[in-house]
Amino acid sequence: MTGPDNRAAWILPSPNMPTPETATLYPGTALFEATNMSEGRGTTRPFELIGAPYVDYRWAEALNSKGLAGVTFREAYFQPTLSKNQGLICGGVQVHITDAARVEALEVGTHMLVEAKRLYPGFGWRGDGGRWMGLLSGSARFAEQLDAGAGAKTIMDSWRSELDQFVRDTREYLLYNGKR
């Protein structure tokens, strides 16, 4: 159940997790912490607003053309008050959840990263050559594939068999039969 479904009051686990929507998107949009793009820290919608000074309207158009389940993207401009791109006007997107039950956050984040790299020569790692992406994703594979120009499907397919094995290995220990 999402927060509104269970009628529980949302209590911020972090200043950068202000809404249940943020928590839904975080597993995918947190990957932007490894890049030179702002993940919206220092705004009222961290991990929902993503962008950089070099981003324009094309990113929202490209992402909306993917038809990703449960989300839509709105062209957005914002000025982070802390962290990367602090004080600069950033173009980017605001990720809007249209159906929380259908959102696959890692799929959303992966498509966002692939399209940002494809569209913007200024896109890059946050100064560590992709090392931080390895820490966030669990291996160097994601960064290597993105750097090599792999598409979102190729990147996601590369972890599919490992994910399926994890689901099989842990199924008997789950208290609730939720989606993976």
pLDDT per residue rounded down to tens, the chain (180 residues): 665 667 778 888 888 999 999 999 999 999 999 999 999 999 999 999 999 999 999 999 999 999 999 999 999 999 999 999 999 999 999 999 999 999 999 999 999 999 999 999 999 999 888 899 999 999 999 999 999 999 999 999 999 898 899 989 998 888 876 554
- Residue by residue, DSSP assigns 113-172 as HHHHHHH-TT--BSSSTTHHHHHHHSSSHHHHHHHTT--HHHHHHHHHHHHHHHHHHHGG
Residue-range domain boundaries for the chain: 12-173
Pairing of strands 90-97, 49-52: antiparallel
CATH topology of domain 12-173: Aspartate Aminotransferase, domain 1 (3.90.1150)
